[in-house]
């Protein structure tokens, strides 16, 4: 499948990537060591987003798979968290470790993407900026969608780079499925994903017929994932809602001078 997606590393370059991964994970372990000492925030600050995601995930893990209301936050992370709860026997420390592992793994993905688009120097700069940006570590230490969303979005971006060199309808369908999953983790990525696919197809200078066929293959994959949530919302709450969140509410709160 990846025959035409060539990306080779020298031994020195490979060792550098591994070193950056280890360094990123080590910094996250230092943060976690101090984080668990703060009783106010660990294990969970009551009524925070993490608190609600944890409650939601526990309900799923204990058998309430579909729930009873329309999804009001990005649902994929809740199910992901429920899986982690079952795997790690509800021990939150291991879930944080897993999220920090994903965060450290992002170093490798960021380097590969930057190197593929630009060059090794750009990849080096990108990976060093990522490691030194503490806000990534902060969000990975919360039971929120952000850590998973960044990881999945990087996978999506890398897959789109693959699509540019290996364009076919099956791969486009898979790309649509992947974008659907990313959308259910944080919905604003759907704008980037849709525009990126259109750009890739335009870049190939296809005839109108094949442009439409390929675009449809992508949207079929996307719609299958999103429709699963739409049908769930309809049958559970009798509400015709595709996806929803508190974006408008949060925008108002963040920009209201009287808040």
pLDDT digit string (tens) for 34-74? 888 876 666 677 778 889 999 999 999 999 888 888 887 88
Reported as a single tens digit per residue, the pLDDT across 150-181 is 999 999 999 999 999 899 999 999 999 999 99
Token digits of residue 118: 């630009």
Q: How confident is the model at residue 1 (pLDDT cuts 50, 70, 90)?
A: very low
Alpha helices in the chain (DSSP H): 11-35, 49-61, 75-87, 92-117, 120-132, 134-140, 146-165, 169-183, 189-203, 208-237, 247-255
Other CB atoms within a 10 A radius of the CB of residue 149 amount to 21
Backbone angles phi, psi at 58, to 5 degrees: -65, -40
- Cis amide linkage into residue 211, ω under 30° from 0: no
pTM value > 0.85: yes
Q: Are 24 and 104 a contacting pair, CB within 8 Å?
A: yes
Measured over the CA atoms of residue 236, residue 242, residue 245 and residue 251, the dihedral's sign is negative
Who contacts 34 (Cβ-Cβ below 8 Å, separation ≥6)?
A: none
């Amino acid at each position: 499948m990846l025959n035409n997606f060539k990306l080779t590393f020298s031994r020195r370059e490979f060792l550098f990537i591994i070193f950056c991964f280890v360094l990123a994970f080590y910094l996250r372990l230092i943060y976690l060591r101090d984080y668990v000492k703060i009783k106010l925030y660990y294990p969970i600050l009551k009524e925070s987003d993490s608190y609600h995601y944890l409650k939601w995930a526990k309900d799923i893990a204990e058998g309430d798979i579909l729930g009873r209301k329309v999804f009001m936050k990005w649902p994929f992370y809740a199910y992901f968290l429920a899986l982690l709860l079952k795997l790690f026997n509800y021990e939150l420390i291991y879930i944080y470790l897993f999220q920090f592992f994903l965060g450290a793994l992002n170093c490798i993905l960021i380097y590969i993407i930057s190197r593929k688009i630009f060059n090794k120097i750009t990849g080096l700069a990108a990976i060093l900026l990522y490691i030194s940006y503490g806000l990534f570590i902060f969000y990975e230490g919360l039971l929120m969608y952000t850590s998973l969303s960044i990881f999945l979005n990087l996978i999506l971006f890398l897959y789109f780079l693959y699509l540019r060199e290996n364009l076919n309808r099956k791969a486009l369908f898979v790309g649509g499925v992947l974008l659907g999953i990313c959308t259910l983790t944080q919905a604003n990525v759907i704008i980037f994903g849709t525009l990126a696919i259109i750009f890739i197809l335009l870049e190939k200078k296809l005839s109108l017929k094949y442009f439409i066929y390929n675009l449809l293959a992508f949207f079929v994959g996307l719609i299958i994932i999103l429709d699963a949530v739409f049908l769930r919302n309809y049958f559970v709450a009798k509400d015709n809602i595709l996806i929803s969140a508190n974006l408008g509410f949060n925008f108002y709160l963040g920009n209201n001078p009287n808040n």
